[in-house]
Amino acid sequence: MKYLVISDMHGNWSALRTVLRRVRRKRFDAILVLGDLVGYGAAPNQVVEAIGDLKGRVVRVRGNHDKVASGLDSGESFNRAALLAARWTADQLSASNLRLVRELPRGPQEVEDGLAICHGSPLDEDRYLFSDRDAATIFASWTLPVTFFGHTHVTSLFSFDPAQGEIDVRQLTGDGTLTLRDGVCYLLNPGSIGQPRDGDPRASYMIYDSERRVVRWYRVEYPVTEAQKRIRDANLPVMLAERLSLGI
């Protein structure tokens, strides 16, 4: 099975549109959407509609910004800019798009035998996964061979080899390819389409072939200034626009 894996669009239609155009001639058995369709960016309706219009099998989970913007969470843990953007998004979403966001399922969701997706940790949808210590907590009870997650906006890989008892942590830069090893458990983050935070402003996504056990990651340039203008025109906090060109 061949999968397109995307995450953390965050209302950035300029970035999502570019990625969808890049992969439009490729065939996928399913598209995996790891949450946070909205928040921060100023084109939430366009993003939600595009995700809703994806053809074929689409497996989705909700993110923390999806919950706050749709009224399922108060957002008390958000910083000021994030909360302002979530409240603005809630006011902007059409009734049908608000319903789609609110009805996004909680992760983890099983995709096929041995493969699942979630937003944060498979043990807690809102928990960030940054370090080997974070990964060790998960690997202690989560033994699925392959899990894709988002939330951190950093393209990365965590793996655990039970035979060696070691956890490997890697930040994945640029474009790359990796063949997954048998008997090893993997946590894979495709990075963010709408707001990368690894110093590279280009949109990030992954493609996974579960039969060949090959994962590929890609970065693609998109019209950042267009996304920034939408944010400024919406009178959202200016730092949400500025960070897009820095990848932070």
Q: Which pLDDT value is given to residue 130?
A: 95
Contacts of 63 (CB under 8 A, 6+ apart): 8, 34, 35, 36, 37, 39, 104, 119, 125, 150, 151
| Amino acid identity, position 98 | L
Query: Which pTM value belongs to this model?
Result: 0.97
> Domains of the chain (ranges plus CATH)?
2-245 (3.60.21.10)
Per-residue pLDDT for the chain (248 aa), expressed as one digit of tens each? 999 999 999 999 999 999 999 999 999 999 999 999 999 999 999 999 999 999 999 999 999 999 999 999 999 999 999 999 999 999 999 999 999 999 999 999 999 999 999 999 999 999 999 999 999 999 999 999 999 999 999 999 999 999 999 999 999 999 999 999 999 999 999 999 999 999 999 999 999 999 999 999 999 999 999 999 999 999 999 999 999 999 99
Burial class (CB in 10 A: 0-12, 13-18, 19+), 183: exposed
- Rounded to the nearest 5 percent, the helix, strand and coil shares of the chain are 30, 25, 45
pLDDT, tens only, 198-244: 999 999 999 999 999 999 999 999 999 999 999 999 999 999 999 99
